[in-house]
């Protein structure tokens, strides 16, 4: 790959990410706590599977990181809120631009 193309792709990615972040911050879209918790549970299950694939488990993870299940879940809920809100903002942009397939 041409280094100039790679640099341009990287710049484009960061600009797109920054745009989405600004759009999410400016949006009035709300994510329900229930939906965020549901998404966070999916994240926990995915992490559990990943840990199991590596011969680990949550107990070892908590011990190694000095965190608790509640702390991890709180972090996942925050991340879930961001992810869900980002998806909703992208959906609204796509809908407004008439680029959604129904």
Of the candidates 85, 89, 87, the one whose C-alpha atom is nearest the C-alpha of residue 30 is: 85
Query: Does 2 have pLDDT greater than 80?
Result: no
Indicate the domain borders of the chain: 28-96
Largest CA distance in the chain: 49
- Rounded mean pLDDT, 55-75: 96
Q: SS in 3 state form for 46-97?
A: HHHHHHHHCCCCHHHHHHHHCCCHHHHHHHHHHHHHHHHHHHHHHHHHHHHC
As given in the structure block, the two tokens for residue 45 are 């299950």
Q: What percentage of the chain reaches a pLDDT higher than 70?
A: 97
Question: What's the pLDDT tens digit per position in 4-17?
Answer: 788 889 999 999 99
């Amino acid at each position: 790959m041409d280094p100039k193309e790679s640099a341009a792709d990287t710049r484009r990615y960061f600009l797109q990410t920054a745009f989405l972040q600004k759009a999410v911050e400016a949006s009035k879209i709300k994510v329900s706590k229930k939906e965020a918790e549901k998404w966070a549970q999916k994240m926990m299950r995915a992490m559990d599977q990943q840990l199991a694939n590596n011969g680990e488990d949550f107990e070892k993870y908590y011990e190694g990181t000095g965190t608790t299940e509640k702390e991890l879940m709180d972090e996942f809920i925050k991340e879930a809120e961001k992810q869900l809100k980002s998806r909703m903002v992208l959906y609204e942009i796509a809908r407004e631009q008439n680029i959604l397939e129904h």
